[in-house]
Structure 1
Amino acid sequence: MSQSSNAGSEQSAVTSAIDAFRRGDPVCVHDAADREGETDLIYPAAAVTPSAVSRLRNDAGGLICVALGHDVAERFGLPFLQDVLDHPVADDHDLSYDERSSFSLPVNHRDTDTGITDNDRALTIRELAAAATAPEETDFESTFRSPGHVNVLRGAPNRLADRRGHTELGLALAQAAERSPAVVVCEMLDDDTGEALAPADAATYAEAHGIPFVEGRQLIERFV
């Protein structure tokens, strides 16, 4: 394949991912071999249904999280979890792939029961997306409670210009697709090896299910 053809194919992959997000469909995103080396199944949070949560549990298998844009997290006063944990385990959060974790508080919507069912988690996720769309109209404390079963992640202030994790990759897709700054990310795991699903296997899954597969590098080149 010529260099120009390869560039066109990569741009097509990014365009397909943006179009899918605009429709409310999922995308598979591999961050980088020298970062986490993981592929996440990513949805725009507003489009998540109980069946989507079931797919995330069964087909991906990692931790189901909602990444919120930095300004939204600031508006809601959501801290980095590491900053508020009063325990020695939080003193030295040494990561091999980044300077700090994006984790904030785990929450449930107040209309949920246990919070862990597909129905409950889908409700919490969609309500987080609604809150992110109109943060000035949301009383976060009366709408959500913590601890809960949906992990919230805080996006970096300048998204991919600051940090290049799945949190920021997903939020960049949401912005390009003109969706709420709230995305669901979940790592794809390998049932046989117990490790992250290999990118080639994630791409095969994506193709079989009509889901765009895109490399983090391609998104970074498009958006930064």
Structure 2
Amino acid sequence: MTRRHRQVGEGEHEGGDPLAAALEAFAAGEPVCVHDAEDREGETDLIYPAGATTPEAVARMRNDAGGLICVALSDAVADAFELPFYGETVDHPATEGHDVAYDDRSSFSLTVNHRDTYTGITDTDRSLTIRALGEAASAPRETEFASEFRAPGHVHLLRAARGGLSEREGHTELGIALAEAADLSPAVVVCEMLDDQTGGALAPADARAYADRHGLVYLEGRTIADRLG
């Protein structure tokens, strides 16, 4: 257990501390709901530890969240795997500039399938790829990435900022911070929660209500950034 995890968890969970509860849930392989910020994407993501992602978890993300299922990796792991930022690798005019209001750059890297998958898109195939990414991230220097994974595939990879939360406060960095504080491999699955009625991002109040109904922890990104950043 890391020092930071001990500091956050001691004596706080019983008092209703959501971060301590989130770390306990994450360490047990359970998902949490994280809202980044109203002045950023304004989205809540359902986030799992990559190593705990079963076919049932993929189905839940598809059906209950509905956004894009991505695996976020720490910068150090991405370096070890020689994963580029997509926008810096593809030579096409569409990759020039990242003119979105909420961020300076995109975290997207390659899309991959594990080489033992068939089409790569089924719940079983995607969970296999995701769990393998989580395992590889625990010992990245021992992984021959191209021997284990092929690109393109059906799992989108995201690269965390080199400075983590001190540099960027997206779901990529928020999820990696949770994983590291819970002594897990620095690889998480993130999926945006969408509203079936409006087609937009699920409102924070509705995301919190979903978490309450299913016994999940709901966290504001600011809580994570302030205490783990």
- Tell me which interval the TM-score lies in, with the shorter structure as reference length: over 0.9
Confirm whether residue 149 of structure 1 aligns to residue 161 of structure 2.
Answer: no
Share of identical aligned residues, percent?
63
CA distance in 2, matches of 1:218, 1:8: 14
8 A Cα contact 1:43 1:183, kept in partner = yes
Change (3 A) 1:200 1:78: same
CA distance in 1, matches of 2:203, 2:217: 16
Confirm whether residue 209 of structure 1 aligns to residue 201 of structure 2.
Answer: no
Aligned partner letter, 1:205: Y
Root-mean-square deviation (CA, aligned residues, Å) is: 1.5
* Structure-1 residue corresponding to 2:56: 51
8 A Cα contact 1:106 1:151, kept in partner = yes
Matched ranges for 1:41-190 at <5 A: 41-190=46-195
Aligned partner letter, 2:61: L
Aligned partner letter, 2:216: I
CA distance in 1, matches of 2:144, 2:157: 17
Q: What is the TM-score when the length of structure 2 is the normalising length?
A: 0.93
Deviation of the 1:93 alpha carbon:
2.1
**Which of 176, 201, 206 is equivalent to 1:196?**
201
Confirm whether residue 31 of structure 1 aligns to residue 18 of structure 2.
Answer: no
Confirm whether residue 21 of structure 1 aligns to residue 26 of structure 2.
Answer: yes
| Secondary structure, aligned partner of 1:183 | strand
Deviation of the 1:147 alpha carbon:
0.4
Aligned partner letter, 1:151: H
CA distance in 1, matches of 2:13, 2:152: 45
Aligned partner letter, 1:77: E
Provide runs of 4+ in structure 1 moved above 4 Å. 7-11
8 A Cα contact 1:80 1:154, kept in partner = yes
* Structure-2 residue corresponding to 1:4: none
Per-residue CA deviations over 1:60-86 (Å, capped at 9, x if unaligned) read 000000000100000111000001112
8 A Cα contact 1:18 1:176, kept in partner = yes
| Secondary structure, aligned partner of 1:160 | helix
CA distance in 1, matches of 2:161, 2:63: 29
8 A Cα contact 1:10 1:218, kept in partner = no
Deviation of the 1:11 alpha carbon:
7.0
Per-residue CA deviations over 1:154-183 (Å, capped at 9, x if unaligned) read 011121011000000000000110000000
8 A Cα contact 2:13 2:20, kept in partner = no
CA distance in 1, matches of 2:32, 2:113: 25
Deviation of the 1:95 alpha carbon:
1.6
What stretches of structure 1 of length at least 5 have no aligned partner? 1-6
